[in-house]
Structure 1
């Protein structure tokens, strides 16, 4: 409807040229018929200031474009006069950020049509965060705008900022008054690929990972460029355009790490409180876990923990709960003064004891239990690697067979033969072998002791996994390997050796989890989809509207990861055993990545954890081999709910396959993802052809699954399990000793002390715990799956009603998850550590309330940490 209550005209009715000519004729022939009636528009704009005091609205102004009536001179919608803001009431005051509602009032003539776009100009010296806006027409109609973006001073940007309303249009259905604005905005977002990007830019472009090394610091910091080559294929990241290093011309220079100042488009930058909260969490974790002495010591002089009680002391309330002078001095060098004051104040207000990780909160020895060892492969922080064993003995790609003997494992199969157990899908393998073997000599030359590993497990009749054997391997001469096989034992020397072998397996699994499953297969692979969406799909495009909540904060957190986590000398190189070749290993595993295998049903089929189900009433299309697999059971319900929602959404806008094929923005988006965003995969034949509704739905469901539920399952349980380092160590300093050696004698003398000396030293452990403490925290502005940032997020009641059904379905899924957790027959739902599986509960507390902290539950819609 237009301002005077008449229906909006679709663009196909009057072409732009004809509309312009017709308007001129009417204006010239019948000026008496022109109405001089003035209609009133009122507007409200929610703006958050990064400083606590409000600012004058006199330096903020907007103009409004009609979405239905075009200006005959420009072909764009009619443009109103400027209106300046008037200050209104304060609606929220959080930390040092204050949200104010500003108002406008303007008059337009009766031919103006329906407002669909506004442009805003910031004449202040500081940036502002525009949360949302609404316009009220003369017939009391409210038009909503979801903004959630920084508005930088006009002196810096040199152009006004434009926002479209929450009405969606396919390209072919765009009203003529909006066609040119739609095109101009996409052109501006794509930029020209030149120059260094500034903080206030809104330009999306692709680049290689050429900013992880820092060769100007020396050869030790030289790292290969990831992406764009056969040797180092990788997803693309957002381009920053920084100048290159002098000594390494293929590498970009790097900003100062703890300033957290790295370019991402202004729409992707954290909101006013997020960055401050993240910095505060980092300092909070450092204060608890890092001692000044360990920071100053050379690596080879770091001490080990001498007892398990000493490790537990990291969580003691007796620790100093203030920022020590040494840390404050260092923080002043790293963090801008304006941020540091707020961080220190936040720490004083929240200086309580860190929670004890759940794995030891009820039973401090639960982590040593073999059943807990197996359970965590199904319901821990990394339940996506275990596979059903298809052939025995396992062998590598060169045909070299494992040294595990059939006879030694058949003793523990509850009377089954190995072939019978395999036929019934009851033998499983956790494999960390083939991808590691080529790198072990290089890794082990750097002061760590790493094996490749294979772990076989048996599915017991009670639904739990029983470890059968562990094989630890080192490269030998030619294609041969040096293998050692360990068997479970209850007591004595063999039990202690078994515990050492398990630690090496857990090290491998922790590294694969952090580098591959978490970083590469969620964070890194999603970023190209975000860039392509912003470059190729207008914000008015329905698919953009569907996906945008699942992209919140991801580019910014990825940029910070490049700054302090995955860079040369960064945190992951310091705490993970591959060290400087961490990212090189992730390149090798990206070669195996296929988008059409990332959806949960496809992933479970690939790993042999499920078989296809021909039952047409089964919406998943698969049947699990084990009933008590919490990640898969809960995840499949979430997957189905997402897919049904996506299908209903897409079916509303696309009535047939021809509509999908004719959507020029959608086709350009899908092409750019394949040829640029994942350009090293562009020749692969497994990409879905974007020609049918079913393929579109599958692709979008997969993307949303990765960004929401999959990431949540891999990230927010880290503190519960990895927060106690003996349960998930990140490197080993000793091999398992062999009989007859000096080390074996040392081991026999005190197995526990040997175990502790094998683990990371104090500093490495403390840094690892500090990291997972930060990563496991939900932040204050989180938006959870099934929730939206505003009630008017889309201008379509049918879609909003269907989304409400999706939200209700997620609530019911959560209820069923909690019921399963109370079922004593489902032993993997809790295990020896009595840790409920809640990582796929959609809400943190069974409600939509945004509460920050470590909760071990809640599915944010996007990858935000």
Structure 2
């Protein structure tokens, strides 16, 4: 049956009507003439005959039929295609009314790219491309970067822009000008509030770095600095308005100076010895590196690198290095009782080290750190192996550091730790585009602020190639894979944690379970059996596109889950929502709270640890603290890094947190789904209260105690700014 159409209706606005003006939200009435037996409206087509785009919030017909549009409609001179908006009732393809099927296919065709043409800001086309836009070879070889994606550097794909190739390298896409925005489909652009928050953060970053840049220029970046001077002390900026004018001006000057200082990161303490404590170091590994630590199954650990290229796979770690730190256990007993854990960057770093250490004032090791789970339930680092390439597979350069026994070894230990510690799609594409323009591009923020420099993104490619698996992205599978949990059907989440006081895992499992419950209700509402899933052509095409176009370098992997029944779909959607919400929140919004104090987690190290035969060793012995501080980034590097991660860790005022949605009206025809979401929202509030209760429990020593940082990262809600808490629905920063 062909679609039945009403007569076209024209909405005429005054010539001085301003589209897009701040706060200019208007409601208009139009009249459609239809036959009495027209039936239920399934779709509305819209053509914009004006000169400017407008944002269409919604359409309501006779107060009964709601269309949640939430999209920018372009003038027909830019886009002659009719925009199509559908009634708020979801249909499986086999259930879609005949009158709507053709419109649905036409709408999908408008969104699909064909790999041709340059995209402009008014487009709404979604297409894929490799990361060949990070380098700028026109600027010279120092700015050239390899393509990420393909056989040599496997990588997921990005949103295609269609910019022309560089004039000096046909394989590299040309860089946009400073004033040009990298293309994302129009509806993926940031809303004004979000953009203003980013712009304000950038301005503050510039102002905060004026003085450090001047000091670096005058004093040279070798000067040892006191980063504490650039961190606020509470109360310092307050002044009394009742004081005489001269006193007010003096206090105002201090207040202005204080205003441009950084808020204290959670790891900051005026007690300089604080960042040397090993138990605190262990807590921060659990909190700040929650996806990296693994259970140690074999001691000593064995490398998986090719020994013909990188030398012996055997570790320099020996029994005598750790036996005295196992609370009386043998190594075998500690392994059997799951007491030993490892943070291992050896195989990721070693292939790059020769190139990294050849960069100016960049020094790194391939580190392996062993931790012991104490009777108190805390992790203590008990040995750190530092490896360097020798250029000869028959020799190796591996150094082992253990907990200190004197002042000199104390600072060697600290240097070792410093070298070690390096709707669910809202704003995601735009965030990625901004990153490619200023963060992960050649000589961008990531390259200039982190030790690997120009090789930073190749690191991520190596990790994606050897480690990333979609079927292991969900938190239960991830914990079991890393040996942090074992399957146990008697436990609430089907697994038992081997570190009971593991805040990320304990809190994350609560959120995971609530997401899974909501997704299960949603999927079972629409898909009653396996046939409904396997016969849904749109769903199956989406999954094939996700694999073949989103992850083409892994498209032939055998570990991709099948999509054959509702349980498969529930698992897949839960994993996606978890990854872009809670997992991302932990990794992103903890950057400044846990990494903002540079002496604890320096992003860049400028010196290797001196050996006794090195000329610098005497300087180290004479003043190990000064040597340690001189190994850290320069003042300008440190404050620039702090400013950037402060912006990246901040929530904007329009943030949409998990359990909250601004557009519940899109479910107006699905009361069962609305009820399930309301219950999900209440569960998020309960989880927030439970996390706060845990943070106040003195038995949980990894999140409660004197000078112990409460674990807030998975508290669902937050205010604006770098709060160290809050789980947005999507990757927004």
Could you state the TM-score of these two structures normalised by the residue count of structure 1?
0.78
Q: How does 1:28-177 map to 2 (within 5 A)?
A: 70-71=3-4, 77-84=5-12, 97-109=22-34, 110-130=36-56, 132-137=57-62, 140-141=63-64, 143-177=65-99
**Per-residue deviation, 1:119:** 3.2
Q: How does 1:458-857 map to 2 (within 5 A)?
A: 458-476=372-390, 477-478=392-393, 480-489=395-404, 491-506=406-421, 510=422, 549-592=423-466, 593-615=468-490, 618-794=491-667, 795-830=669-704, 833-844=707-718, 851-857=719-725
CA distance, structure 1, for counterparts of residue 155 and residue 164 of structure 2:
21
Q: Is the 8 A contact 2:232 2:264 kept in 1?
A: no
Structure that is richer in strand per residue: 1
Q: Is the 8 A contact 1:619 1:640 kept in 2?
A: no
**Per-residue deviation, 1:487:** 1.1
**Per-residue deviation, 1:99:** 4.3
Greater than 6 Å deviation, 4+ residue runs: 313-319
Residue 158 (structure 2) pairs with residue 237 (structure 1):
yes
More off after superposition, 623-632 vs 686-695: 686-695
Provide the secondary structure at the position in 1 that maps to 2:372: strand
The 3 A distance-change label for structure 1 pair 149 and 305 is farther
Q: C-alpha deviations, 1:310-337, integer Å up to 9, x for none? A: 4547999789xxxxxxxxxxxxxxxxxx
Q: Is the 8 A contact 1:629 1:828 kept in 2?
A: yes
Q: Is the 8 A contact 1:362 1:834 kept in 2?
A: no
**Per-residue deviation, 1:149:** 2.8
More off after superposition, 398-407 vs 554-563: 398-407
**Per-residue deviation, 1:246:** 0.8
Provide the secondary structure at the position in 2 that maps to 1:108: coil
CA distance, structure 2, for counterparts of residue 82 and residue 210 of structure 1:
45
Q: C-alpha deviations, 1:633-659, integer Å up to 9, x for none? A: 000111111111111110110111011
Provide the secondary structure at the position in 1 that maps to 2:119: coil
Residue 114 (structure 2) pairs with residue 192 (structure 1):
yes
**Per-residue deviation, 1:740:** 4.0
The 3 A distance-change label for structure 1 pair 832 and 622 is same
CA distance, structure 2, for counterparts of residue 677 and residue 658 of structure 1:
26
> Which 5+ residue runs of structure 1 have no aligned equivalent?
1-15, 21-69, 72-76, 320-347, 511-548, 845-850
Q: Is the 8 A contact 2:357 2:363 kept in 1?
A: yes
Residue 263 (structure 2) pairs with residue 355 (structure 1):
yes
CA distance, structure 1, for counterparts of residue 635 and residue 448 of structure 2:
12
Q: C-alpha deviations, 1:372-393, integer Å up to 9, x for none? A: 110011123x211011100010
Provide the secondary structure at the position in 1 that maps to 2:412: helix
**Per-residue deviation, 1:86:** 8.8
**Per-residue deviation, 1:309:** 4.0
**Per-residue deviation, 1:84:** 3.8
**Per-residue deviation, 1:362:** 7.0
**Per-residue deviation, 1:471:** 0.8
Backbone CA RMSD of aligned residues: 2.6
Q: Is the 8 A contact 1:388 1:608 kept in 2?
A: yes
Could you state the TM-score of these two structures normalised by the residue count of structure 2?
0.91
**Per-residue deviation, 1:724:** 1.1
The 3 A distance-change label for structure 1 pair 479 and 831 is farther
Q: Is the 8 A contact 2:68 2:88 kept in 1?
A: yes
User: How many residues are aligned here?
Assistant: 702
Q: Is the 8 A contact 2:232 2:262 kept in 1?
A: no
**Per-residue deviation, 1:367:** 2.4
Q: C-alpha deviations, 1:414-450, integer Å up to 9, x for none? A: 1111111110101011101011111111110112111
CA distance, structure 2, for counterparts of residue 490 and residue 674 of structure 1:
53
The answer for the alignment partner of 1:57 in structure 2 is: none
Residue 182 (structure 2) pairs with residue 307 (structure 1):
no
CA distance, structure 2, for counterparts of residue 759 and residue 108 of structure 1:
73
Q: Is the 8 A contact 2:377 2:701 kept in 1?
A: yes
Q: Is the 8 A contact 2:204 2:260 kept in 1?
A: no
Provide the secondary structure at the position in 2 that maps to 1:150: strand
**Per-residue deviation, 1:719:** 1.2
Residue 727 (structure 2) pairs with residue 859 (structure 1):
yes
CA distance, structure 2, for counterparts of residue 824 and residue 703 of structure 1:
34
The 3 A distance-change label for structure 1 pair 351 and 121 is farther
Q: Is the 8 A contact 1:307 1:753 kept in 2?
A: no
Provide the secondary structure at the position in 1 that maps to 2:279: helix
Q: Is the 8 A contact 2:137 2:144 kept in 1?
A: yes
The answer for the alignment partner of 2:302 in structure 1 is: 395
**Per-residue deviation, 1:167:** 1.4
